[in-house]
Amino acid sequence: MSEVFRKPLGDVVTFQRGYDITKKEQTPGPYPVISSGGVASCHAEFRDEGPGVVIGRKGSLGGVYWSEGPYWPHDTTLWVRDFKGNDPRYVYYFLQTLGLERFDAGASNPTLNRNHLHLLEVAVLHRKSQTAVADVLRTFDRLIENNRQRIEILEEMARLIYREWFVHFRFPGHEDVELVDSDLGPIPEGWDVAPASLVFEINPRERVNKAVEHNFITMADLSESSMVCLPSELKAGNSGAKFRNGDTLFARITPCLENGKTGFVACLDKGEVARGSTEFIVLRGAKVGPEFTYLTAREERLRQNAIKSMTGASGRQRVRNECFDSHLLVFPTPQVEEAFREVVEPMFELVFSLARQNTVLSEARDLLLPRIISGELDVSDLNLDLEPVA
């Protein structure tokens, strides 16, 4: 067990309240503006040169954020003005173990009081052990970030290929295929145009045993930019969306739809039916494959058509399923669609392989974090052999 010292948190770091900045005052630039929820925007100016550690002070309490370089800590945060000789990276991980959200001192709006936090008694490692601990935890974070970047690149590649083939019609062999007139303008000969509700199944029927718990995907599990969606709950019941691997989950409610929340289901066992939010529309390929379906759902043209169909009270508007009946789509011959799937399916599979590895890495890091930060587990006893997915 590593040597630890008990002292007030104010002897470990000095917190300072962040700086207010309005959207009108912001000038686009390279420096992140870190609010209580994380990086909110970027600005041409910075307030701290970094490396920096920031915690949520108001609204969303206790989130801990790292900045490698210069940044602007927002007024809704506290930032570490003085590390008092401690390793900044260690401080970043150490603060995550304190459960700072417990120390809400606000009357109506959740708020952290820095003077109160400075008085908290904490246990910290000796400075000579801090860097070794931070290096171990940073190994996990680097692998997770590397995988995240690879996922981002793979998804962008798949979207670019989709647009090249099915928007610009520059698919392999397109030089030998004539364009013919259609309701959507010239399209390759042999291709067709049909309403989206015929190209896809909209909310296909599925049955589940309501007495049994099933994997459940919430709206929060969907990303605004990535296909990855993993179940966060187990729930019994029969309500909500029902789906299988290969289905696309399309947010039907504002502002989730406008923000781009869309997921591709690839996390279930063979034949498994899962459940999800009532605010999902499930899309399943009828005349096309699952990858084509997902990538079409990510296209702005389909999304804007859905947004125009929304009805309901302000702030709770929802997409009408009928919007897919009038929205025309171009879809290719089975041969071209199969060739496309052969190209992009391995990309989708690798995305979810990387996502699964990140889940394992995050769970392992979170399990180790309190034990090695506290000195209960000596990092010199760890034998970590972490290999990225090929």
The Cα–Cα gap between 335 and 345 comes to 15
Q: E strand or H helix at 368, and its extent?
A: helix 334-373
Establish whether domains 4-125 and 192-331 are of one fold.
yes
Average pLDDT of the chain? Answer: 92
Q: Is 138 in contact with 89 (CB distance < 8 Å)? A: yes
Q: What angle do CA 236, 237, 238 make, to 5 degrees?
A: 140
At residue 349 the predicted structure's pLDDT band, cuts being 50, 70 and 90, is very high
Q: Pairing state of beta strands 274-276 and 214-217? A: parallel
CATH topology of domain 4-125: Adenine-n6-DNA-methyltransferase TaqI; Chain A, domain 2 (3.90.220)
At residue 387 the predicted structure's pLDDT band, cuts being 50, 70 and 90, is low
DSSP characters over 26-57: ----SEEEEETTEEEEEES--SB-SSEEEEE-
Residue range 86-126, pLDDT digits in tens? 999 999 999 999 999 899 877 678 889 999 999 999 999 98
- Spatial strand order of the sheet with 77-82 comes to 14-17, 77-82, 52-56, 64-67
The Cα–Cα gap between 169 and 154 comes to 21
Q: Which of 270, 264, 274 is nearest to 214 (CA)?
A: 274
Average pLDDT over residues 187-214: 96
Instruction: Give pairs for 45-50: CB < 8 Å, separation 24+.
Output: 45/72, 46/70, 46/71, 46/72, 47/18, 47/19, 47/71, 47/72, 47/73, 48/72, 48/73, 48/79, 48/81
Count Cα atoms within 13 angstroms, Cβ side, for 360: 12
Percent of the chain with pLDDT over 90: 83
Residue range 276-301, pLDDT digits in tens? 999 999 999 999 999 999 999 999 99
Is the pLDDT at 385 greater than 70, yes or no?
A: no
Q: Is 28 in contact with 44 (CB distance < 8 Å)? A: yes
Which residue, chain included where needed, has tokens 């590390």?
Answer: 83
Please list the residues that pair with 42 across neighbouring strands: 32
Q: Is 111 in contact with 17 (CB distance < 8 Å)? A: no
- What are the extents of the domains in the chain? 4-125, 192-331
What integer pLDDT is reported at residue 107 of this predicted model? 66
Residue range 212-263, pLDDT digits in tens? 999 999 999 999 999 999 999 999 999 999 999 999 999 999 999 999 999 9
Is the pLDDT at 384 greater than 70, yes or no?
A: no
CA dihedral (230, 232, 234, 239) positive or negative: negative
Q: What is the pTM of this model?
A: 0.85
Is the pLDDT at 325 greater than 70, yes or no?
A: yes
What integer pLDDT is reported at residue 374 of this predicted model? 85
Q: Domain 192-331 class?
A: alpha beta
Average pLDDT over residues 190-205: 97
Q: Is 280 in contact with 245 (CB distance < 8 Å)? A: no
The Cα–Cα gap between 107 and 355 comes to 40
Residue range 5-26, pLDDT digits in tens? 899 999 999 999 999 988 788 8
Which residue, chain included where needed, has tokens 């908290």?
Answer: 120
